[in-house]
Homo-oligomer: A and B are copies of this chain.
Amino acid sequence: MQLWERFSLSFDNRMPIYRQITLQFSRAFVRGEIKPGERIPSIRELSALIKVNTNTVQRAYQEMERDGLIGSKRGMGYYFTEDTNMTVKTRRDLALDSLRCFVGEMRALGLADSEIVAELTSFVEGEASNEAGS
């Protein structure tokens, strides 16, 4: 089973579809499931697979191209960048965004840094015990 077939989109308006697509690609790239230089599905292929309009996929690809994540070779499709630094850069960018957002929100709630860490650890442990119990 292909990676792209597992793409799960939510149509709940919380995030535009084209943004969800770029996110899924970025994550797969960061996790190493897409290798540098690897070809990704053509616009038409992916749009058929995940059942969204070609224009939507097109836009997603455009955004990734603008970010230097992928490049298009005329008439041959899109390929992920060969630049191996890009995967670590992408991971750091995504992680930093999440960290900043999370820490900013928790501090705005009045929590000290130590409390934020405590909340996080108790949260992941709590989830773990839920898993065990269920």
State the A residues within 8 Å of B (CB): 11-13, 16-17, 27, 30-32, 53, 66, 71-75, 91, 94-96, 98-99, 101-103, 105-106, 108-111, 113, 116-117, 119-121, 123-124, 127-128
Contact = CB atoms under 8 A, between A and B. Distances in A.
Contact of A124 (B13, B96, B105, B117): B117
Contacts of A102: 98-99, 101-102, 120
B106 A123 contact: no
Interface residue SS majority, chain A: helix
Given A74-B16, A94-B105, A99 B113 contact: no
- 3 closest A-B pairs by CB: A102-B102, A31-B110, A113-B124
